[in-house]
Amino acid sequence: AQKITQTQPGMFVQEKEAVTLDCTYDTSDPSYGLFWYKQPSSGEMIFLIYQGSYDQQNATEGRYSLNFQKARKSANLVISASQLGDSAMYFCAMREGGYGQNFVFGPGTRLSVLP
Amino acid sequence: NAGVTQTPKFRVLKTGQSMTLLCAQDMNHEYMYWYRQDPGMGLRLIHYSVGEGTTAKGEVPDGYNVSRLKKQNFLLGLESAAPSQTSVYFCASSYSGTATNEKLFFGSGTQLSVL
């Protein structure tokens, strides 16, 4: 069963606007972590933001914030004031507690920022 | 700061040939992973290691073997390459795998084509 779902294969956003990339996850483990990675066209994987299952507040890192809705098992990435350099693939990922191998990725969303 | 280094960056093989991908990390991380990335499927775990001398199977291990003779190195082998193994391969590492906030550090990837 798919543990991480990203329903938007591709998204477009106008430069300077905000955009939300969707991510839903499936786990029965009460302890888990959620991650977002960015993969620009150059191919490297860049860590953006982390949210723990027990964190009370939504994570923020500069222009990135994570809209964490635990009951809905949703961890959407919000990018404010989009820039041309934000055009990339974005992957949502989850690590479940206690098991090193359980770091699973979603299929990704390709974001294109329009000038 | 080298981080995680993968070699080679590109390789073309003929069906049936063998090759080894090398991953080296200089962060003293215990856990190392090999993923493959295919369009629309995100990153899928091939094999992982929780420490020197240990290896374990991930989600898609068939056709691959791994070895971790030294803590800093994790080798991925293809004994008899098949066109289905055409993919981008990523090595990653983390300090441990038991905490949910342990992010993965990635190498730059290897583009492998099997003809």
| Cβ contact, residue pair B98, A103, below 8 Å | no
Strand partners, A65: A60, A78
Digit-coded pLDDT (tens) for B7-41: 999 999 999 999 999 999 999 999 999 999 998 88
Digit-coded pLDDT (tens) for A29-88: 899 999 999 999 999 999 999 999 999 999 999 999 999 999 999 999 999 999 999 999
- Give which of A46, A22, A36, A45 is closest to A93, Cα–Cα: A36
Please give the DSSP secondary-structure letter assigned to residue A85: G
| Residue A86: strand, helix, or coil | helix
- The least confident of A23-27, A28-32, B13-17, B44-48 is A28-32
- Give which of A68, A64, A56 is closest to A24, Cα–Cα: A68
> Which amino acid belongs to residue A52?
G
What is the number of other CB atoms lying within 10 angstroms of the CB of residue A20?
14
| Cβ contact, residue pair B90, A45, below 8 Å | yes
Count Cβ–Cβ pairs < 8 Å, chain A vs chain B.
69
What is the number of other CB atoms lying within 10 angstroms of the CB of residue B60?
18
